[in-house]
Amino acid sequence: MNILVSALEKSSNIHLKELMKHLNSSIKFSGIYSRQLGHSDYDTTSHTIMGFVDALKNYRYLAKLNNDMVALARNVDVVLLMDSSGFNLPLAKKIRKAYPSKKIYYYILPQAWVWKKGRIQTLQTTCDKLFSILPFEPGLYTDQEKISYVGHPLLDQIDRYCSKLSSNNSIAYMPGSRKAEIGSLMPVFRQIAKAIPHKIHILIIPDSFDEEFVAKYYGDISMFMIEHNSRKVLCEVEFAYICSGTATLEAGIIGVPFALVYIAKKLDMFIAKFFLKIRYIGLVNIMFDKLNQTKYHSEYLQEDVNVVNLLNEYKNTDRQKFIGNSKILREYLGHGSSETVARHIKENTKE
């Protein structure tokens, strides 16, 4: 079997790695994914794009990449699209038009429940199978035969949870993995570290970043202990400040007390506030809202990301509630997804 993969995001590549463990070693992969997973036609590690502004700046590059992927789809059995709806939805349409009988599977679906709900119909008419990683998502679709809740990929990867509050006197800082996020949050994180000098301050930096990148975008990190394994750190610290994204869900599953902090580009935030009709941006909070639970964690956005607010959050957070709420979250998600997705691919594709 030949599978064409479109996995632009770092998180998608982590989930793809888990999926590959459950697929036959004879399967040949091509397309867009990290070359750490094997040969790929395009390694987009250095081209991570986030938000409306970045997408506009990189329009020509993405358009060419999209057309190249359509050409590559000619000789494969399955097209596997992962996340990145701005790129993958147009790609799905083009592949369906060019090769009407081609199998197209979408794993980690676009968040059509946030905005652009018309994408739900596009997904149903364009793709053969839709693999949902959010329990509430299938209920939004009319074609129940196409969509399945397959579990959440983080439950394949996380095997340690907080069973009691940490007393190791440390705070973790996760400023994200994108240049803009890091640049906007690090000045605030440095101020917090200086304001609480008696604590151990742990800065989590992706191990894929070299020294030059760290020096350029992180600035002075002399007051921090540097770690790369976020899950190990989150199981041990007493509190964490985390940029919006997958890391907040990781923290929620683990059960560490944390606050979401995020400073977006002004245009991105303006567009989001104008179009989006959601109460929270943190996925854990969104899921707890679906469960009619009170919010899981605090969210600080834009100008609210300041030293006074974040220090108060650290001092006044009810830390005990996070352990109990993490159990509720894990029960809601149920199980991991990679083995289930692999089974769907094998069952629905003739090798």
Q: Where are the beta strands (DSSP E) in the chain?
A: 2-6, 28-32, 78-82, 103-107, 129-132, 147-149, 170-174, 200-204, 225-227, 239-243, 258-262, 298-301
Cβ-contact 241, 258 below 8 angstroms: yes
pLDDT for 300 beyond 80: yes
Q: Is 144 left (phi over 0), alpha (psi -120 to 50) or beta?
A: alpha
The per-residue pLDDT for 103 is 96
Give mean pLDDT, residues 273-299: 84
Shared fold status for 2-153+336-348 and 170-333: yes
pLDDT for 265 beyond 80: no
- Residue of 125, 128, 133 whose CA lies nearest to 149: 133
pLDDT for 56 beyond 70: no
Q: Which pLDDT band, with edges at 50, 70 and 90, does 117 fall under?
A: confident
Mean pLDDT for the chain?
A: 89
Retrieve residue 276's tokens.
């989006």
Q: In one letter, which amino acid is 24?
A: N
Q: Which pLDDT band, with edges at 50, 70 and 90, does 51 fall under?
A: very low
CATH level 3 topology of 2-153+336-348: Rossmann fold (3.40.50)
pLDDT for 305 beyond 80: yes
pLDDT digits (tens, 9 = 90+) for 313-335: 999 999 999 999 999 999 999 99
- Residue of 338, 108, 70 whose CA lies nearest to 246: 108
Positive or negative, the Cα torsion across 92, 95, 96, 102?
Answer: negative
pLDDT for 111 beyond 60: yes
The model carries a pTM of 0.86
Q: What is the CATH number of domain 170-333?
A: 3.40.50.2000
Give the residue, 125 or 276, on which the prediction is more confident.
125
Domain locations in the chain as residue ranges:
2-153+336-348, 170-333
pLDDT digits (tens, 9 = 90+) for 172-210: 999 988 888 999 999 999 999 999 999 999 999 988 888
